[in-house]
Each structure stands twice: as C-alpha cells, then as structure tokens.
A and B are shown apart, each in its own frame.
Chain A
Amino acid sequence: METKKMLVGALADIDPKGSRTIRVNDMEIALFRLSNGKIVAMENKCPHKGGVLSEGMVCGTAVHCPLHDWRIDLNSGAVLDPDSGCVTTFPIEVDQDKGLIYLTLQSA
C-alpha cells in the first residue's frame, strides 16, 4: 500500500459552502469547504446515478446531489436517510499557517 500526499490548493481557492474538483488518476475528487472552515474530500460521484456532487448545494454538514437531491454526509461520505449508500472520502490536512490544503490518497 502506497500513500501519496499532494498539495491541491489554497484555502482561498474554495468559497465557503463551495466546492472545487481535482482529477487524480482516473478519478474526480470533490473538495468542499463547510461554513465552519473545514475542508473535506470525496469522490465526485453520487452513489445513486452518478450525479456530480461538487455541483450540489452544501447545507450544514451535508451536500445535496444536484440530480435527485440525495443527501451525503460530508464528514463520513454516508448517504443520509431515507436513502442509503456511501461515497469514498479522502483524508485532508490543512496547513493553517500557510493556508494550504493537502490530500492523501492510498493506492494498492
């Protein structure tokens, strides 16, 4: 198992309640910034019908998929009631002093 840590951007790149995307290998990852400043990362694909999550609305700690309004918990990646499923999340580290965001990926 190999872990890769990469610098993906600065805090100012993501608006509060906003999102940006990044492509890593074959996967698109969405980074979200919650109102409390926390940055989270997850695969940019809704488990329902593949809706692009980065284009959804961030409400509190959940993002609503733009296609059919499934709610995904931004902290755990779990689909919230009444639907079910989950989205892969990725660890994020933020260097608060420099305001930089790092993403860690594990590959087999």
Chain B
Amino acid sequence: MHLRKKLVLVGNGMAGLRMLEHLLKLAPEQYEITIFGAEPYPNYNRIMLSSVLAGGAGLDEIVLNDTDWYKEHNITLHMGHTVTRIDSVRQKVVSNQGVEAEYDELVLATGSNPFMLPLPGADKEGVIAFRNIQDCEMMIETSKAYKKAVVIGGGLLGLEAARGLLNLGMDVSVVHINPYLMERQLDETASRMLQKELESQGMKFLLSRQSEAIIGKKRVKSLLFAGGERIDADLVVMAVGIKPNVELAQTAGIKVNRGIVVNDYMETNIPGIYALGECAEHRGIAYGLVAPLYEQGAVLAKRLAGVQTEGYSGSVTSTKLKVSGVDVFSAGAFAEQEGTRVLKYQDEVDGVYKKLVIQDNKLVGAVLFGDTNDGAELFSVIKNGETIEGREKELLLGIPQEALASGSGNSRLEGLAADEIICGCNGVSKGTIVQAIQEQDCTSVGQIKACTKASASCGGCKPLVEGLLQIYAGEAAVPVKEGICGCTPLSRDEIVAEIKRMRLMTVKEVMNVLEWGTEEGCTKCRPALNYYLGMLWPDEYVDEKESRITNERFHANIQKDGTFSVVPRIYGGVTSPTELKKIAEVAEQFEVPLVKFTGGQRLDLLGIKKENLPKIWEALGMPSGHAYGKTLRTVKTCVGNTFCRFGTQDSIAMGIRLEKEFERLNTPSKVKLAVSGCPRNCAEATIKDFGVVAIDGGWELHIGGNGGVHVRATDLLCVVKTEDEVVEWAAAFLQYYRENANWNERTSTWVERVGLASIKKALESKEERLALQSRIQATLSKTTDPWKQIIREQELRKNFEPLTKVETNH
C-alpha cells in the first residue's frame, strides 16, 4: 500500500465540499481526507434556507451530502468541531474538542459570519442573524409565539428573510439604511418597483433609517432609530452583510486582508495552505454568492490533483431574488458610469423594467424586473464579453427563442467548456448536463432537473438547459409545446377539433381521452373545457358548476374582503321609480354597506355576505345582471332621438332589444355592448365589444373595442339600415366569436389575432349569418335566470350557507 497524502478541510460547507467532489472525481485515491465542520450537520444547501423558512422545503430536503456519502468516500468527518488552531510548522490542526489532525495540504473554507451591528442591546434574546439552520429553526419557533418581526437590511438576504417571516404569519417590517432597497443589485427604478410589489405582499418598509439601539429587558421589545423614532419588535433579524471568517487564518499568521488572501490558484502565502469560498479574497474581492466559489473549487481541485489549470481569474456575478411572485435579476456592473451607454425599457402597466449597461460595445451589466426570462442569456453575453453592436435592442426587448435554438445562441452554448457552470444555484456544469442527456437519456428539462438539480432552485438557467437539450439530444428532445395550460400540450383548436371529432361529452372524458397531464386539470383548463363543451353541445351538455370560476359559481362578484356584490339587470340602463324604490328598500333591509352606480348604467350593491345573496336576490325579484361572468354584461345607451335634439335614431329601444336578445349568453370572455343615438357617441360605443352608432338613415356596427387595461378603439364592421339587421349582425358576430375565440380572450385581442378581414369574410354572406344566428338562438333558448334557479333549488342554495356544529365532547 502506498502512503496517501493527508488532506484536511476546515469548514464543512458548500465551497469546501464542492471542491472535494471535484477532486474525488479527478483523483479518487490520492488523499486521505479529514473534515472539520462547526455545524452539527452534514453539508447542506445554504441558499435553500430561504425556502425552508418560507415553508417550501424541509430541512431534510436541503442536505447535499448525507453522512453515507462521507463514509462511501472514506472521509473522516468531525461534525460539530470548530478548528481553533493551525500549527503550520508541525502541519496539524486542533479542534475545540481536542481532536488533532495532521496535514500535507490544508484547505480553509470557513465561509463568512453574519455582520451584527454593534448596537446597544444587540445581545438581547430575539436578536438573530440569518445564516444557518439554527437561525432558521429559531425564526420558525419565534413565529409561533410572537407577532412582530423587524428585519434590519433591505438587501437580498433581508428580503428573503422577511418573505419567510411573512409566510410564517408574522407582521414584518424591513428597516433599511439607504433610501431604496437592494441598492447593490438594483437601480432606483427597479428598486421602487420591487418595493411596490413587496408592499402588496404585505411587507412594510422603513427606509433611510439608522438603527441606534435595541430596547427591552431580557428580550427585545423595540428598535430605536437615530432621531428618536421607535418600532415595536419581538424579533430582530440582522441581515446587513457578511464578513469573511478569517480569525483562524489570522492567528496562524496567514496573510489576511478583508478575506484570506489567495492567488489565482487559491494558494495563501503559506505553502500547503489554500483557501476558497466566502472566506477567501481574490484580486481584492471576497464574494458572497455560490457561483464564484464553484469556479474557485474547480481550480483548486485541479491544483490538488496535479492537473493542469489556467487558474481562476475572478467572476462576474448575477443574482436573483428568491421570493415568489417577484422576478428580479441583476448582473455585472449595472450602474450608469462615465463611458457607459444605457438602454432602458419600462412598462408600468405590466410592471416590467429592463436595463442594459453597455461599454465599448460590450454588455457589462443588466437589471431586469418583472420579466427575467432573458436573465440567463444576458448573463452569458456579459460573461463572454462579446461585442453586441447592432444587437442592443434585440437584447433589450428579449431574445427570440429561435435565437437560442439556432444560430448565435446555440453556437455559443456549444462553445462553452464542459466545466462552465450553467446552473449557478446548484453548481451544475455544462458537462454534467450533457452527460445526463447522453448517458442517462434525459430528454426533457424536467428529467435533467431530476437527474442533476439544474434549474431546480431559481429556474433562471432554464433557457440554457433547454438550449443544451436541443443541441445534445437533437431529435430525441421532447419539444416544449405550449398547450392551453400546463396540463396539456394541446392548443385550443386541437382540443375543440378532438371534442367534435370524438363527440366527447364531459370535462372528465376530454381529460381522459386527450391524456391530460394532471388528474383534474387546473383553473385554466377546467373552465375552458366547460365553456367549449357548452358551446359545442348546447342541447346535451350539462354545465359543470365545479369547473366555473368563483364569480360564476356564486353568481356574484367576489370582493377582496370575501364579500360579494349584487347587480340586478336594468335593460339599457332604463329604470323606473318602482324599481328604484325596490332596490332602495332591499339595500336598507340588508344594511348594504355601499350602493354605487356602475359604469354600465346600473346599480351595484356592495359588501354582501355570501349567505345573504339568495335572500337579496329573492327580495329584489329582478333578473341577474350577470355583472360577474364571461357573458353579456351591459348594453349601454344614450338618450337617442326620444329626448335628445341631436339623436337620429331610438338608441334606447335598440339597446333594450339587444340586451333582451342576448342576456345570459355564455361567451369566451365578458362582452359589453353599447348603442349611441348619433355620431357624438355618448354611449362610448367605440370602445365596446360590439358597438352600435346611429347615423342618418342607418346604423354603424363596430367590433373589438375595449375600454379596460388595454384600451382599443373598435373597427368598423359594416353599416346597416334596419334594427332587425343590427340584431342579425350582432347575433352572427357574437356566435362567430363564441365558436372561434379562446376561452378568456376578449373580442379586442381576438380581432387583433385573427384579423378584421377574416371576420368580415366569415360574416359576409346572409346565409352564413342566419345560420350563426339560429345557432345562437338555440343556445339562448336553453338559458334560465341563475338567481331564480338558486332561490328555488335547495340543493344549489345550500352552498351559500355555512354549516353549523353540534359538539360531541370527548
């Protein structure tokens, strides 16, 4: 037996173990390995602590190397041992429990310590950091007994801690010394957008505050700021930064600056002693993220295995905030400086912001908010340092997926070295992924994720994994086809065609026959299928109320406080004193908190408890206004020639006729109509789904308008002479929309998608219009007023009432 060299690793964390895994692959027999780790756990994924805190993962799920792994590799592990002394002359280390180990090569991977603000009172109970499992457990425990949490620090770590504490049911305030959050990763615009989103999730912020003291007896009671302001706190989490853990190295006489100083081969100034990870400082930088330490690990592993390596030349880093519902990405030098050019895109409607920083025609930094799909791609462009001249706008506005699959994107991926890290969170290299594709026959991103953990944490690298799949699996790659939802790869048209062809009759049957990926679908496909089936089989299909969205199931609009609103039908916006009195009486009788006119010319009774809905409907004795569903909402009218001196036609009568004709109709999305009595268009008919404008001797018919989020003026469909023709065209248009649009697609989007010309063509022949009209009439003849039905049928009505309990004490 030849004598193996002795390798000692201090720090049983992500950097050290990553390096060892690499080394064991390169030179499995070369070393006898001993590890000291201060924490009483095997190596775990520290980044996932945020998920543990937020309730998304269990502690057992985040272990990276379990104790069996150490045994399998004959590694001696001293768990719970802190190394207190290095004797670099005799080449040995000593732990706080008196265990000694000799070394030929010593690797320091001691990570960093959270920086605790030296405030008076910082030693009180309830003041902690967020760094390890113990901190995490402490926060979970605290949340059970206490309510108010204050996180000091509005950076990545602080915000992730705050999100976790919110999930644990605590009332959370984040205190930040700067005027805006995450200033090390974001510019002010992105930061404000982030703040707004987090506020809507329930997080509170105290910005530009300097913490001064922690007040309380044994346990913290409040936090005091400079200037005298105070905030109550049962728990204070300090997340203001980290400092490399260099104490041990320092006492051993190793050269230390901010971190342990290393060269490009991770060597310290003392031969045989190396450092990597957060404790190390390379070319003046001590990193605080995992991606660089994987790169360092690869270099050190090669060095220790005696394999040729170019050395480590520093990392460009990128970050992604791991808070659900918030997409933030930042990479490289994102600040605008002299000599840089900046491209920005800002969309306050969809909450999207993108910024690229360019220097010498190269991308040097990027900030994305709201839509971070391009993050991985931009990051790879930054790292490559390639010229982007002429492509700037394409990069800003998003790289077309094709670019990834072919041409530049792919050749870049092909050109990457095998040890280049693709998934920063889990440190998965290109080589590992390619191996999973070629040797373990992975043919989808899902399988690669299961095999290698690539894209399992933040998901930012998914486009790159997809790209690799394209290159290395080729034909075998399961194409990522976009279905109507995640449950099926089929499109709306394919589904509708199959339902027709095979005469599928229920939602369940469709899912079985068309091989749905989920047992009972989701909130996207279930209501869609319910709609398509009802549209295709008006006679046979029995509507499935369990597949209706909430508002349609309760025939009322659910409000954000869980109460509902009631809007009775008022045809054409014309009411009578009797009807008004009735509504007023009911509002008083049920103490309705708010009565309001709607934009559709009717009355809205708001703030009604669910159990009162059937009672109110009964008392009103009016038909449902369907103000809650994907159906005909209102027909807005102006006064017309009955009273108005400009009026050219009777718009009121026309409106009432249309409303009576089409009320209760199920449509792909909500449908609003309006009739204006003259081209002054007081009923705003040109922003409705179907708008009618009276002109001298006839009517103009307009379609595809929308006055909502995406305002769109209508397109003129045609001009007709008589009221009967208006109804005929309206019927034909609505039925054609019902038969061809996607569920949940407004006419405005649909008209834009299929084009006005195709609709005009479809409705061109009188014969075709009459056929459409007779189909819509067949459907309409089957509808009944839902409110009356619920009032009548106890089986439906019961769902509005709470259950009552009978105690049977045991």
A20 contacts which chain B residues (CB < 8 A)?
Answer: 798-799, 802-803
Minimum CB–CB distance for B136 against chain A, Å: 14
A56 contacts which chain B residues (CB < 8 A)?
Answer: 523, 550
Q: Which of B459-505 contact A (CB under 8 A)?
A: 459
Sampled A-B contacts (11; CB under 8 Å)? A7-B807, A13-B803, A17-B520, A20-B803, A21-B803, A22-B803, A35-B520, A47-B169, A60-B520, A64-B522, A85-B167
Minimum CB–CB distance for A106 against chain B, Å: 12
Which one, B519, B520, B549, B809, contacts A5 given CB within 8 A?
B809
Max chain A C-beta neighbours (<10 A), residue from B325, B553, B803, B810: B803
- Inter-chain CA distance A18–B553, complex, in Å, is 11
- Inter-chain CA distance A59–B516, complex, in Å, is 13
Cβ–Cβ contact B526 & A59, under 8 A? yes
- Inter-chain CA distance A9–B808, complex, in Å, is 13
Cβ–Cβ contact A59 & B523, under 8 A? yes
Cβ–Cβ contact A52 & B808, under 8 A? no
A55-B554, A84-B54 known; 8 new pairs, CB 8 Å cut-off, are A22-B804, A57-B526, A58-B520, A64-B523, A67-B560, A83-B325, A84-B55, A103-B805
- Inter-chain CA distance A35–B523, complex, in Å, is 16
- Inter-chain CA distance A64–B54, complex, in Å, is 19
Which one, B51, B57, B798, contacts A13 given CB within 8 A?
B798
- Inter-chain CA distance A91–B549, complex, in Å, is 28
Q: Is A102 interfacial (CB 8 A cutoff)? A: yes
By beta carbon, the residue of chain A nearest B459 is A82
B798 contacts which chain A residues (CB < 8 A)?
Answer: 13, 20
B546 contacts which chain A residues (CB < 8 A)?
Answer: 15-18, 57-58
Minimum CB–CB distance for A12 against chain B, Å: 9
Q: How many residues belonging to B are interface residues under a CB distance threshold of 8 Å?
A: 39
B56 contacts which chain A residues (CB < 8 A)?
Answer: 79, 81, 83-85
Q: Is A98 interfacial (CB 8 A cutoff)? A: no
- Inter-chain CA distance A13–B804, complex, in Å, is 11
Cβ–Cβ contact A6 & B549, under 8 A? no
8 closest cross-chain pairs (CB), A and B: A84-B56, A60-B519, A17-B546, A66-B550, A60-B520, A22-B803, A7-B806, A85-B167
Indicate with 1 or 0, residue by residue over B181-222, a CB within 8 angstroms of chain A CB atoms: 000000000000000000001100000000000000000000
- Inter-chain CA distance A79–B169, complex, in Å, is 14
- Inter-chain CA distance A61–B547, complex, in Å, is 15
Q: Which of B542-586 contact A (CB under 8 A)?
A: 546-547, 549-550, 553-554, 558, 560, 562
Indicate with 1 or 0, residue by residue over B139-174, a CB within 8 angstroms of chain A CB atoms: 000000000000000000000000000010100000
Q: Which of B520-544 contact A (CB under 8 A)?
A: 520-523, 526
B459 contacts which chain A residues (CB < 8 A)?
Answer: 82
Q: Is B308 interfacial (CB 8 A cutoff)? A: no
Cβ–Cβ contact B324 & A82, under 8 A? yes
Which one, B54, B560, B810, contacts A3 given CB within 8 A?
B810
Binding site for B on A (CB under 8 A): 3-9, 13, 15-18, 20-24, 31, 35, 47-49, 52, 55-61, 64, 66-69, 78-79, 81-86, 102-103
B54 contacts which chain A residues (CB < 8 A)?
Answer: 84-85
- Inter-chain CA distance A23–B169, complex, in Å, is 20
- Given the interface pairs A49-B201, A59-B522, A59-B526, the reply to whether A83 lies near B805 with Cβ below 8 Å is no
Minimum CB–CB distance for A26 against chain B, Å: 14
Cβ–Cβ contact A6 & B806, under 8 A? yes
Which one, B51, B169, B804, contacts A84 given CB within 8 A?
B51
- Inter-chain CA distance A75–B71, complex, in Å, is 37
- Inter-chain CA distance A49–B561, complex, in Å, is 10
- Inter-chain CA distance A2–B166, complex, in Å, is 29
Cβ–Cβ contact A8 & B805, under 8 A? yes
Cβ–Cβ contact B799 & A69, under 8 A? no
Cβ–Cβ contact B51 & A55, under 8 A? no
By beta carbon, the residue of chain B nearest A101 is B803
Minimum CB–CB distance for B57 against chain A, Å: 8
Q: Is B518 interfacial (CB 8 A cutoff)? A: yes
Indicate with 1 or 0, residue by residue over B54-71, a CB within 8 angstroms of chain A CB atoms: 111100000000000000
Cβ–Cβ contact A5 & B810, under 8 A? yes
- Inter-chain CA distance A60–B553, complex, in Å, is 18
Cβ–Cβ contact B802 & A47, under 8 A? no
A47 contacts which chain B residues (CB < 8 A)?
Answer: 55, 167, 169
B560 contacts which chain A residues (CB < 8 A)?
Answer: 67
Minimum CB–CB distance for A16 against chain B, Å: 7
Q: Which of B43-84 contact A (CB under 8 A)?
A: 51, 54-57
By beta carbon, the residue of chain A nearest B53 is A84
Which one, B518, B519, B799, B807, contacts A6 given CB within 8 A?
B807
Which one, B55, B167, B325, B802, contacts A21 given CB within 8 A?
B802
Which one, B202, B519, B549, B550, contacts A59 given CB within 8 A?
B519
- Inter-chain CA distance A56–B550, complex, in Å, is 6
B518 contacts which chain A residues (CB < 8 A)?
Answer: 59-60
- Given the interface pairs A4-B807, A84-B167, A102-B808, the reply to whether A59 lies near B520 with Cβ below 8 Å is yes
Q: Which of B779-810 contact A (CB under 8 A)?
A: 798-799, 802-810
A57 contacts which chain B residues (CB < 8 A)?
Answer: 523, 526, 546-547, 549-550
Minimum CB–CB distance for B351 against chain A, Å: 14
- Inter-chain CA distance A24–B799, complex, in Å, is 18
Q: Which of B296-345 contact A (CB under 8 A)?
A: 324-325
- Inter-chain CA distance A61–B521, complex, in Å, is 11
- Inter-chain CA distance A17–B325, complex, in Å, is 27
Minimum CB–CB distance for A90 against chain B, Å: 12
A3 contacts which chain B residues (CB < 8 A)?
Answer: 810
Cβ–Cβ contact A83 & B803, under 8 A? no
- Inter-chain CA distance A36–B802, complex, in Å, is 23
- Inter-chain CA distance A61–B202, complex, in Å, is 28
